[in-house]
Amino acid sequence: MNITRAGSFAAIIAAGALVLSACASGETTDNGSEGETSALSGTLVGAGASSQQSAQEAWVVGFQEANPETTVEYDPIGSGGGRETFIGGGSQFAGSDRAFNDEEIAADNFASCVPGTGIIEIPAYISPIAVIFNLEGIDSLNMDAATIAGIFAGEITNWSDPAIAATNEGVELPDLPITAVHRADDSGTTANFTDYLAVNAPDVWTVGQIETWPTEYGGEAAPQTSGVVDAVTNGTGTIGYADASRAGDLGTVAVAVGGDFVPFSPEAAAAIVDASPRVEGRGPGDLAINLDRASEEVGVYPIVLVSYLIACNEYTEGAPVDLVKAYLSYVISEEGQALAAEAAGSAPISADLRSEAQGFIDAIQ
């Protein structure tokens, strides 16, 4: 009895060891920088913004199906962690909700890149953020930035407030207290939403762009996008902000742009990226933009989250350059962007941006 037990135990250990070693050998594929055949192989490692997670998952699956010999890993550790990992050389590309700032670029200590060659930054993931609310019988409301800021700063506390009524003639607003729901966790969505408020309503929204909600503004905190959406859906007289793909049947706010009210749409979100100027003084391939949230242009939706894909212009020896080029090309391709739109509800980038970015990707060494 004892012997058979010990035997089976040993068998389990042996089997486990076999499985583990099989996994390990599966991971240590050589990187295909030799490129003797057209089929790509090797492992590409990226890390960064969790906002890109669903899109990256879709891209990885699509890319690996087309190139079965490759492995692409994307670790959604957050934008800050993604940038640190990229600087430290732990990843070949990064996803980040903000571009590297001038100081970080000037420091030029990217471990994977040849010094002095700079980096590529492509605003490849554009996601509209919807202001969602839950009022019976009302599907859409018009608001300007000052009103939205007033609501989220706790100054406008009732739905029948004249500030809301002024832009919504003919809509019967209930006499109901407003519960404003914000993210409890630190989030790029919050950063982009508050950036919009800080730019367009600086008198009302005085704390500027923030990731952690200021306690003096009060309001309700809910974890993650799903928590905010659930809280808005289950509450009464609630309003919140969330990734537009998750707005569902909730009412959404059309925001004031240049005298008109624009509801969110993928086209309007992509339009703001094209209408915004580039960050000045950047090297070739660095397509970082100064998102012009105060834009007055017709048909742009200013509350968007723009997330960058960041790579080197010139990699140091031994990096899987072909793989980087192929993957980035796939991500910005029409097919890749359509895949992300389907999986994550993002807005496909415009053809102009695509052709410009493609040129820089092709030049990666």
Least separation in angstroms between CB 203 and another protein: 19
Single residue of 178, 303, 328, 341 touching another protein by CB under 8 A: 178
Find the binding residues for another protein in span 267-306 (CB under 8 A): none
Establish if 186 lies at the interface with another protein (CB under 8 A): yes
Establish if 320 lies at the interface with another protein (CB under 8 A): no
CB count within 10 Å of CB 341 equals: 18
Alpha-carbon distance of 192 to 190, in angstroms, equals: 6
Establish if 177 lies at the interface with another protein (CB under 8 A): yes
Kindly state the tokens that stand for 192.
């982009």
Establish if 155 lies at the interface with another protein (CB under 8 A): no
Is residue 304 within 8 A of residue 349, CB to CB? The reply is no
Kindly state the tokens that stand for 158.
């009732």
Q: Which of 97, 129, 128, 126 is nearest to 348 (CA)?
A: 126
Residues 6+ apart with CB under 8 A from 212: 186, 190
Alpha-carbon distance of 130 to 150, in angstroms, equals: 17
Q: Which CB, 27 or 103, lies closer to another protein?
A: 103
Establish if 185 lies at the interface with another protein (CB under 8 A): yes
Alpha-carbon distance of 329 to 69, in angstroms, equals: 17
Single residue of 32, 78, 118, 266 touching another protein by CB under 8 A: 78
Find the binding residues for another protein in span 123-152 (CB under 8 A): none
Strand pairing report for 304-312 and 93-96 = antiparallel
Establish if 77 lies at the interface with another protein (CB under 8 A): yes
In the block, tokens 């953020």 appear at 129
Kindly state the tokens that stand for 21.
């070693």
Establish if 184 lies at the interface with another protein (CB under 8 A): yes
- Which H or E run contains 115? none
Alpha-carbon distance of 143 to 49, in angstroms, equals: 30
Residues that bind another protein (rule: CB under 8 A) add up to a total of 35
Least separation in angstroms between CB 234 and another protein: 5
Single residue of 93, 213, 308, 315 touching another protein by CB under 8 A: 213
Contact stretch for another protein (CB under 8 A) within 86-94, 167-175, 225-233, 325-333: 225-233
Find the binding residues for another protein in span 230-259 (CB under 8 A): 230-231, 234-238
Kindly state the tokens that stand for 147.
């009103």
Q: Which CB, 236 or 365, lies closer to another protein?
A: 236
Q: Is 24 helix (H, G, I), strand (E, B) or coil?
A: helix
In the block, tokens 């594929």 appear at 29
Single residue of 89, 90, 174, 214 touching another protein by CB under 8 A: 214
Contact stretch for another protein (CB under 8 A) within 20-28, 38-46, 180-188, 348-356: 180-188
List of E strands, 178-302: 179-183, 220-222, 238-243, 251-257, 260-262
Q: Which CB, 212 or 365, lies closer to another protein?
A: 212
Find the binding residues for another protein in span 15-44 (CB under 8 A): none
Q: Which of 222, 223, 261 is nearest to 238 (CA)?
A: 222
Single residue of 202, 223, 283, 284 touching another protein by CB under 8 A: 223
Least separation in angstroms between CB 81 and another protein: 4
**If you count them, how many residues does the chain have?**
365
Q: Which CB, 144 or 185, lies closer to another protein?
A: 185
Single residue of 32, 219, 302, 348 touching another protein by CB under 8 A: 219
Kindly state the tokens that stand for 343.
């999986």
Alpha-carbon distance of 31 to 71, in angstroms, equals: 10
Least separation in angstroms between CB 87 and another protein: 11
Contact stretch for another protein (CB under 8 A) within 12-20, 60-68, 218-226, 302-310: 218-226
Least separation in angstroms between CB 260 and another protein: 30
Where along the sequence are the contacts to another protein (CB under 8 A)?
50, 77-81, 84, 157, 177-179, 181, 184-187, 211-215, 218-223, 227, 230-231, 234-238
